[in-house]
Chains A and B, each alone.
Chain A
Amino acid sequence: MAKYLAKRIFYLVLTLFIVITVTFFLMKLLPGTPLTNQAKLSKSQIALIYEQYGLNKPVWQQYLLYLAGAVRGNFGTSFQFSDQPVSYLLSSRIGPSLQIGLQAMIFGVIIGIIVGSFGAMKQNTWVDTSATFVSILGISIPSFVLAVLLQYYLGLKLGWFPIAEWGGFIYTVLPTLALGATPLAESARFVRTEMVDVLSSDYIELAKAKGLSRTGVIYHHALRNSLIPLITIVGPLAVNIMTGSMVVENIFSIPGIGEQFVKSVLTNDYPTIMGLTIIYSFMLCVVLLFTDILYGIVDPRIRITGKAN
């Protein structure tokens, strides 16, 4: 296990290194400077600003400096907000994004499990049909459409929740619902398929034959075994939430990193875009690593086959 872990962490570091390198050189390909009005500035002023951003050095030196900084969590200075280090900008914004993302994930997966297992238990009845319908609908409606609808109907018309801004828990409800729809749908679909499989297996028959109650069979035998593979879709769901958060945070004007990403893209704030790309990639890598390890712990069969390879 320790060897496997070390190997995985090595790959994580390697991946991040490649991501940093590629984004750095991609950004160097882009036109644009931190100067807002180049024509009005004198040569010495431009030189001064370039020096402030470290743009006067040759590219390879900039790259090494950036790499050295990135290791320590320093991603340079933002072009958009002068004198603001990217790391400060992002660390003050990552909280809301993490909170909404985690809430959406937990909400979506839990409700998804309930919907999916009801669908499997009442297979081929109206319960199953409506569960399938809900999950297909959740996959088909883009989160930003859902966000606007929720904002208007639950926020403005009914006035149950604040329509935007960032405050206490109540402010997170609508964004969580909007972002959680896809995880809900995906996990419901997944759990249903798995559970239908599990319910027809021999050990369920045995448990029934031994006279266990229906809920006992479902809870102790069917549900547990059908939930294990669910861990594998947590990674893709995390990607989905990250992608969705960019638009949803914008709609609800939440001061998160998704909103900042869109803002930075529209204002060509390259250092911030780079920092955010690295942070997104880091979070995703950690989620993938975490789910892989968790899967190995929960399902011993994976560990054994992993060793055989």
Chain B
Amino acid sequence: MADTVKLPEDSFKPISADDRSALDSEKIAAPSLTFAQDAWRRLRKNKGAWISLIVLAIVFIMAFGSIFVSPHNPNAVNPSYANLPSKIPGIGINGFNGTLVQAGQRVDAYKQAGASNLHYIMGTDYLGRDLFSRVLYGTRISLIIALVATLFDLTIGVTYGMFSGWKGGRIDTIMQRIIEIILSIPNLVVIVLLILILKPGMTSIIIAIALTSWTNMARLVRAQTMELKEQEFILAARTLGERPMQIAFKHLLPNLSSVIIINTMFTIPNAIFFEATLSYIGIGISSPQASLGTLLNDGQKNFQFLPYQMWWPALVLSIIMLAFNLLGDGLRDAFDPRTKE
């Protein structure tokens, strides 16, 4: 039977490149993302981390912008305007309208001081210095200390960890023992001892925090390095005769970056916390310099009568710590989606 099936001739021709790209099944729906882009996308999806990032950006801009534009001079003493409560124009709520409870009555402290036309957003301290400017200034000092200490911590911790993990064997054992010994004394005790030796001040605080906080980073980097160095691409690099330094920079560091970034997000609030604790104890930053810790210490003395003097720095400190913690969590989920569920 010559009952042939009639197939159109052109079904057997190779389709042109134009037609192929028009086919749905061959289409790649989304552009392929690099690791960083992917992490960024996941970070933006995480509401808490995203808000934290914005909050931190605002805090940074305000703290460092206050070098150029500050509402008042943070060190300008004005005894006649001492201890004025916070007054924000347009807000009538008690606590923000410049009134104070004195002898059981609420009075306008600004009128008493003869400063009705002025308003200090966070009030003034016992020397009449503008608290808002001082909080900005203190935040700046705290952030500088934390960032510089973290920078040191990054360099020491990452180098130490990579070296230890890469070398392995006896060197690794000895290096890990050293870390264990450092970890066997509470960090704050070591920091206090170092500050006593280096004389209290900003530099010695930075050095002391940097010298003690790198251990965690070193341990994480070591563990990751040990895992990485067994992998094929490192073996390939070695076979091709790359020097260890090159391997470290070209192959290890990029692969370690997520661990490093995440850990940094937890080191910074730690450094801020240590600085605040030291200043609070009284061996940290000394006046006329101020940090969030010294402001808290000053505010705490008068907390019963002038609670706002402690509330404001405490609020700012807590917000910074909160934002860094949330951002750290968010980054961890963003870099390593497996950790979440």
- Chain A residues packing against B (C-beta within 8 Å): 11, 15, 18-19, 23, 26, 29-30, 136-137, 139-142, 144-145, 148-149, 152, 156, 196, 200, 239, 242-243, 246-247, 250-251, 261-262, 265-266, 268, 273, 276-277, 280-281, 284-285, 288
B104 CB, nearest partner CB in chain A, Å = 15
Are A136 and B193 in contact (CB-based, < 8 A)? Answer: no
- Chain B residues packing against A (C-beta within 8 Å): 177, 180-181, 184-189, 192-193, 196-197, 269, 273, 276-277, 280-283, 296, 300, 303-304, 307, 310, 314, 317-318, 321-322, 325-326, 329, 341
The chain A residue sitting closest to B216, CB to CB, is: A236
Are B184 and A141 in contact (CB-based, < 8 A)? Answer: no
Are B281 and A19 in contact (CB-based, < 8 A)? Answer: no
Partner of B188, one of A30, A246, A281: A246
Are B283 and A145 in contact (CB-based, < 8 A)? Answer: no
The 3 A-B residue pairs with the shortest CB-CB distance in the complex, in nearest-first order: A140-B322, A140-B321, A243-B188
Are B283 and A247 in contact (CB-based, < 8 A)? Answer: no
- Residues of A within 8 Å of B184, CB to CB, are 15, 19, 281, 284-285, 288
Are A277 and B193 in contact (CB-based, < 8 A)? Answer: yes
The chain A residue sitting closest to B322, CB to CB, is: A140
- Residues of B within 8 Å of A239, CB to CB, are 186-187
Are B277 and A280 in contact (CB-based, < 8 A)? Answer: no
Are A156 and B188 in contact (CB-based, < 8 A)? Answer: no
B176 CB, nearest partner CB in chain A, Å = 11
- Residues of B within 8 Å of A284, CB to CB, are 184-186
Are A266 and B188 in contact (CB-based, < 8 A)? Answer: no
A15-B180, A15-B181, A30-B197 known; 4 other A-B pairs, CB under 8 Å? A145-B317, A246-B188, A265-B281, A280-B185
- Residues of A within 8 Å of B325, CB to CB, are 136, 139-140
Are A140 and B318 in contact (CB-based, < 8 A)? Answer: yes
A176 CB, nearest partner CB in chain B, Å = 19
Given contacts A140-B322, A148-B300, contact A26 B197 (CB under 8 A): yes
Are A152 and B304 in contact (CB-based, < 8 A)? Answer: yes
Kindly state the separation between the CA atoms of A277 and B193 in the bound complex, as whole angstroms: 9
Are B304 and A156 in contact (CB-based, < 8 A)? Answer: yes
- Residues of B within 8 Å of A30, CB to CB, are 196-197
Kindly state the separation between the CA atoms of A199 and B321 in the bound complex, as whole angstroms: 31
Kindly state the separation between the CA atoms of A30 and B196 in the bound complex, as whole angstroms: 8
Partner of A280, one of B189, B197, B283, B341: B189
Are A144 and B186 in contact (CB-based, < 8 A)? Answer: no
Kindly state the separation between the CA atoms of A288 and B180 in the bound complex, as whole angstroms: 10
Q: Which of B189, B193, B283 has most chain A Cβ within 10 Å?
A: B189
Q: Which of A15, A23, A144, A273 has most chain B Cβ within 10 Å?
A: A144
- Residues of B within 8 Å of A19, CB to CB, are 181, 184-185
Kindly state the separation between the CA atoms of A23 and B307 in the bound complex, as whole angstroms: 40
Interface of B is mostly: helix
A43 CB, nearest partner CB in chain B, Å = 28
- Residues of A within 8 Å of B196, CB to CB, are 30, 265, 268, 273
Kindly state the separation between the CA atoms of A200 and B276 in the bound complex, as whole angstroms: 41
- Residues of B within 8 Å of A149, CB to CB, are 314
Are A141 and B187 in contact (CB-based, < 8 A)? Answer: no
Given contacts A156-B304, A281-B184, contact A144 B321 (CB under 8 A): no
Kindly state the separation between the CA atoms of A45 and B314 in the bound complex, as whole angstroms: 50
B239 CB, nearest partner CB in chain A, Å = 29
Are B280 and A141 in contact (CB-based, < 8 A)? Answer: no
The chain B residue sitting closest to A239, CB to CB, is: B186
Partner of A144, one of B188, B197, B269, B296: B296
- Residues of A within 8 Å of B314, CB to CB, are 141, 145, 149
Kindly state the separation between the CA atoms of A199 and B187 in the bound complex, as whole angstroms: 36
Are B283 and A266 in contact (CB-based, < 8 A)? Answer: yes
Kindly state the separation between the CA atoms of A276 and B318 in the bound complex, as whole angstroms: 30
Given contacts A243-B277, A281-B184, contact A142 B321 (CB under 8 A): yes
Given contacts A136-B326, A142-B317, contact A243 B187 (CB under 8 A): yes
A189 CB, nearest partner CB in chain B, Å = 9
Kindly state the separation between the CA atoms of A23 and B196 in the bound complex, as whole angstroms: 12
B133 CB, nearest partner CB in chain A, Å = 21
A129 CB, nearest partner CB in chain B, Å = 10
Are B193 and A23 in contact (CB-based, < 8 A)? Answer: yes
Are A142 and B276 in contact (CB-based, < 8 A)? Answer: yes
A132 CB, nearest partner CB in chain B, Å = 9
Are B304 and A277 in contact (CB-based, < 8 A)? Answer: no
Kindly state the separation between the CA atoms of A152 and B321 in the bound complex, as whole angstroms: 23
A72 CB, nearest partner CB in chain B, Å = 21
Are B185 and A277 in contact (CB-based, < 8 A)? Answer: yes
Kindly state the separation between the CA atoms of A238 and B274 in the bound complex, as whole angstroms: 16
Kindly state the separation between the CA atoms of A140 and B184 in the bound complex, as whole angstroms: 24
Kindly state the separation between the CA atoms of A23 and B303 in the bound complex, as whole angstroms: 37
- Residues of B within 8 Å of A250, CB to CB, are 281
Are B321 and A139 in contact (CB-based, < 8 A)? Answer: yes
Kindly state the separation between the CA atoms of A305 and B321 in the bound complex, as whole angstroms: 38
Q: Which of B184, B273, B281 has most chain A Cβ within 10 Å?
A: B184
Are A265 and B321 in contact (CB-based, < 8 A)? Answer: no
- Residues of A within 8 Å of B273, CB to CB, are 142
Name 25 interchain pairs, CB-CB below 8 A, sorted by A. Answer: A26-B193, A26-B197, A29-B197, A30-B197, A136-B326, A140-B325, A141-B314, A142-B318, A144-B296, A149-B314, A152-B303, A200-B341, A239-B186, A242-B186, A243-B187, A246-B188, A250-B281, A251-B300, A262-B282, A266-B281, A268-B196, A273-B193, A277-B185, A280-B186, A284-B186
